[in-house]
Structure 1
Amino acid sequence: MSRLLSLFLVLPLGALAAEPAAQAAAPVAAGGGVGGQLAQLLLGLLLVVGLIFLLGWLLRRVQRIGPRGGQVIKLLASQPLGARERLLLVQVGSEQILLGLTPGRISTLHVLSEPVHLPDAEPATPEFAQRLMELLGKDQKDKT
């Protein structure tokens, strides 16, 4: 747009003014053309994407500096109550706390005086695997 405006201003001045305008426009067309602008755009884009990855890597490195070992806060159980609400049983040190979690709030519902002992999850039994195969329509005899 600025090139067209400069051409309209230079044309009425005559032959003497036209030569410097042509000389000034020639380097702009050679170095600042569409290819040069595209290269500059891609270089800037690569620089920004590289900076994002560098900051992400740096953030992960900084987060690892904190205490690694035994975590003080443990999530023992979670029970969904609705689409976005749930109950959480959290252990902090030796204390267990029942929390209510909603999208806008976390509320302490109860601090348990006696810790709840949760049964360990049992591994899948062979009967479960057999029942699953039956439900999927496959028979154990087809394996051999």
Structure 2
Amino acid sequence: MRLLIILMLASCRAWADEVAVAASNSTPKVAAAHSGMLESSQVSGQLLQLVFGLLLVIALIFLLAWVVRRIQQSLPVTGSPQVISLLASQALGPRDRLLLVQVGKEQILLGLTPGTIVPLHVLQEPVDIRVPEGNLSSAFAQRLAKVLKTTTKDKP
């Protein structure tokens, strides 16, 4: 974000310097004749810069949303001391998922769609889910998982 602001400020300064040099080099009559043309080019340049900046911010928002989603999918789901816990999740499509849920000692495979949750199968033998610490895809994901573990331990 800081880089974007620095680039925008630098381009504004360069544009202002260019206009000042052009105005100082021209004679008063030529400057008066070109003032209308210069104003319209300034407005169109500012509008183009505004649209470009807006598109860049929107693209940055979508990029960050994609990164957060990828990080959430790569983090292991850990069991909790609660009665109901989510053991595993698998995306089937953009809005459809399979969930493995443990209720007490029983494990249930659920199908999750935008409108419904359907129990697909009750497992006779519980599946042992263990995720090794080194299974995370990147060093950033490993560090984030470590931080999340320490913050959940600190909560009362």
Task: Please say whether Structure 1 and Structure 2 have the same fold, judged by a TM-score greater than 0.5.
Answer: no
Point out the structure with max Rg over C-alpha.
Answer: 1
Q: Counting helix residues as a fraction of each chain, which structure ranks higher?
A: 2
Normalising by structure 1, report the TM-score: 0.37
Normalising by structure 2, report the TM-score: 0.35
